[in-house]
Chain A
Amino acid sequence: MKRKFLTELEKYLAPLGVEERNEILRFYEERFQSGKIYENKTESEIVDELETPKQIAINVLEEYGYSINDIKTEDNSAQKKELSYGRIAILLIVDFFIVISAIPALIGAFIGLVAGWGGLVFMIFTPEIHGVQPLINLILIGAAILWLFLLFWLYDVIVTLITWIVRWHLKAFNYKDPAKILKKMHHLKISTYLRHHRSLKQTKSLITVFALLGIFIGGIASIVQYGGLNRSQFNEPLETYETSYDMTGEILASENLTINIDIYHSEIEFRVTDTEEIVVYVKEKESVPLEVAYNEENNLLSITSDMERPFLSWNFISFFFQDNPELIIEIPNNLSLQSITVKSLNGKLDMNDIDLIGNLNVDIINGDIDLNNLSVDNIYIETVNGRIILKDIEANNDFEVDLDNGSINVRRISALNYDFHNTNGDIILRDIDVSNQVGETLRAQLTNGDIELQNVYVNEVTLKNTNGDIDFHNDDLTFVFDKVDANTTNGSEDINVPKN
């Protein structure tokens, strides 16, 4: 006990010279001897009484003008065995955050990636989803392989992170042999396994190269085939599907025909011809099943797309390269039409020289609308984004246009009640009810933009704007309005028409 104490002290006092060291050691030797003899204490009792050799050395060396750093710490195992409570406290705080955030986040990401991978594999084995495109399958398989390797890598990252955390804990709690456990964890990693199995590793590298090559070739080929780049080099003509449905024989020309269009996206055009035929043309660079059907009972011609567009369709890419598909409906000029309804998500609408007994309903989300020289009972147009140009239209009753973003431009029209609504853009109305009947009411409502009226002869006019001007001028000042109510919150009103 005494020996050990003195040996340790001697070691710590190494920076001192031999003489000084021995002097100090003699004090303690004397302490042991006199303690034993005069006070009848055991060596361990005396050791308990004394400070630790290290503390003694620190004090002594300080008296001799040494700094604490000079004290030998090569064997500070005594201190190592003590748990550091500060360290454990930090550990517990960090543990808490790992439990509530990092681990759920990692697991979530991993599950998400696995699910995504599953989706990809599912897509490969159900080619109907993307329309049986071998090139797409090539890209998908390549992506699936790389994705799988990404999962391997992420798994390794998670294992590595957990290893770090475990090592930290073992260290903080002074676990005797952390290396053994850490080595076991290291072996859980896929990269470790591959390192021990060279052929597998090489196979993996080879597969990676093939996957990349597959994606590259598939991508290039797709762009060439669908995107129109250097098409001629490959001597592959671009396939345009042009389908025509001749409905002449079926449709009873004597009855009033109703046409209903409900499709996903297309440029729609109505053409009036001198022939006797009713033909529906569908022009597209990809075959989209459109259903063209005639119902004799209602004398109804309906054109519908019978399938929902899948998310990952070629349009998704080709949207940027290729022209919009076209839908052309040819009608003989002597055919009597009841009403037309057009519903579409994207695409523009062109309609010229058509007389309807009933209504024209247009409901397009995105697209321009161009209507010329029509005669209808009521006209209802509803759009979210687009430009609306309406010219030379006669309506017996209602004329309604509802737009969110874009401009409404109207010329030479007549109706009984008008209703124009827009949020962003202008409303321009010219030559309304100039020669024919006199309209009853006209309402135009706008939030941002200008309202411009010129030569509008309707009894009651209500114009409402929030941000923008209102201009109203008529050439014929003898027309006196029953009511002109113009109101804009931020903007100027320039109304120059006579009223009661």
Chain B
Amino acid sequence: MSIQLKKGVLDLCVLSKLSYKDSYGYDIYQTIDNILGISESTIYPILRKMVKEGYLTTYLKESPEGPARKYFKITRFGKKHLENLKNDWITFVRNVESLLVEEREL
């Protein structure tokens, strides 16, 4: 999978993951890494960018075992953006799929 294609769906994956549960940077990276195999240093600037764009907010959460961690939480605006991205994705996948099927039948 090309890096450009991965980066295209990175926003969708991050927002989707956070729509279920708040999480911290390293955890987000590990999940995304499992799916997309993307480098740590690519994820962090994107989290920072989504905070600035208002899709995410952050808060510090104390942990019983150690120091506080910075948690990311999806905003309402982020959820709306996630819906748009999901629709885009489904349409995109369908279109590509139909094209590939057509090609097979030819």
Number of B interface residues at 8 Å Cβ cutoff, please give it. Answer: 18
**Partner of A30 from B26, B39, B42 at Cβ < 8 Å:** B26
- Bound CA–CA A26/B24 (angstroms): 12
- Bound CA–CA A24/B24 (angstroms): 14
**Partner of A37 from B39, B48, B65 at Cβ < 8 Å:** B65
| Interface members, chain A 56-104 (any B CB < 8 Å) | 56-57, 59-60, 63-64
List residues of chain B with CB within 8 A of the CB of A33: 66-67
List residues of chain A with CB within 8 A of the CB of B46: 63
List residues of chain B with CB within 8 A of the CB of A38: 65-66
Query: B interface, by DSSP: helix, strand, loop or mixed?
Result: helix
Q: Which residue of chain A lies nearest to B7 when distances are taken between CB atoms in the complex?
A: A63
List residues of chain A with CB within 8 A of the CB of B26: 30-31, 34
- Bound CA–CA A20/B45 (angstroms): 9
Does A23 touch B at the CB level, under 8 Å?
A: yes
Residue from the set A24, A30, A31, A38 with the largest chain B CB neighbour count within 10 Å? A30
Does A188 touch B at the CB level, under 8 Å?
A: no
Q: Which residue of chain B lies nearest to A37 when distances are taken between CB atoms in the complex?
A: B66
List residues of chain A with CB within 8 A of the CB of B24: 30, 34
Known contacts A20-B48, A24-B48; A60/B41 CB under 8 A? yes
**B66 and A27: CB pair below 8 A?**
no
| Interface members, chain B 17-56 (any A CB < 8 Å) | 24-26, 39-42, 44-49
**Partner of B39 from A24, A27, A34, A59 at Cβ < 8 Å:** A59
List residues of chain B with CB within 8 A of the CB of A55: 41
Residue from the set A24, A31, A37, A63 with the largest chain B CB neighbour count within 10 Å? A63
Does A51 touch B at the CB level, under 8 Å?
A: yes
Does A1 touch B at the CB level, under 8 Å?
A: no
Q: Which residue of chain A lies nearest to B42 when distances are taken between CB atoms in the complex?
A: A59
Chain B proximity of A350: nearest CB distance (Å):
98
**A30 and B41: CB pair below 8 A?**
no
- Bound CA–CA A31/B43 (angstroms): 13
| Interface members, chain A 22-51 (any B CB < 8 Å) | 23-24, 26-27, 30-31, 33-34, 37-38, 50-51
Chain A proximity of B51: nearest CB distance (Å):
9
List residues of chain A with CB within 8 A of the CB of B39: 51, 59
**Partner of A23 from B41, B48, B65, B66 at Cβ < 8 Å:** B48
List residues of chain A with CB within 8 A of the CB of B41: 51, 55-57, 59-60
**A24 and B65: CB pair below 8 A?**
no
**A50 and B45: CB pair below 8 A?**
no
List residues of chain A with CB within 8 A of the CB of B42: 59, 63
Q: Which residue of chain B lies nearest to A35 when distances are taken between CB atoms in the complex?
A: B26
Q: Which residue of chain B lies nearest to A53 when distances are taken between CB atoms in the complex?
A: B41
Does B69 touch A at the CB level, under 8 Å?
A: yes
Does B70 touch A at the CB level, under 8 Å?
A: yes
**B45 and A37: CB pair below 8 A?**
no
List residues of chain A with CB within 8 A of the CB of B65: 37-38
Chain B proximity of A30: nearest CB distance (Å):
6
List residues of chain A with CB within 8 A of the CB of B49: 63
- Bound CA–CA A425/B55 (angstroms): 104
Residue from the set B46, B47, B67 with the largest chain A CB neighbour count within 10 Å? B67
Q: Which residue of chain A lies nearest to B67 when distances are taken between CB atoms in the complex?
A: A33
**Partner of A63 from B45, B67, B69, B70 at Cβ < 8 Å:** B45
**Partner of A24 from B44, B66, B69, B70 at Cβ < 8 Å:** B44
**Partner of B70 from A26, A50, A51, A57 at Cβ < 8 Å:** A26
Chain A proximity of B25: nearest CB distance (Å):
5
Q: Which residue of chain B lies nearest to A9 when distances are taken between CB atoms in the complex?
A: B41
**B45 and A30: CB pair below 8 A?**
no
Q: Which residue of chain A lies nearest to B27 when distances are taken between CB atoms in the complex?
A: A34
List residues of chain B with CB within 8 A of the CB of A60: 41, 44-45
Closest 6 A/B residue pairs (Cβ):
A37-B66, A63-B45, A59-B41, A56-B41, A27-B44, A23-B48
Report 14 cross-chain contacts, Cβ distance below 8 Å, ordered by A residue.
Answer: A20-B48, A23-B48, A24-B48, A30-B70, A31-B40, A37-B65, A37-B67, A38-B66, A50-B40, A51-B41, A56-B40, A59-B41, A60-B45, A63-B46
Give the A-binding residues of B (Cβ under 8 A): 24-26, 39-42, 44-49, 65-67, 69-70
Q: A24-B48, A34-B24 are in contact. List 9 more A-B contacts (CB 8 A).
A: A27-B44, A30-B24, A37-B65, A51-B39, A56-B41, A59-B42, A63-B42, A63-B45, A63-B46
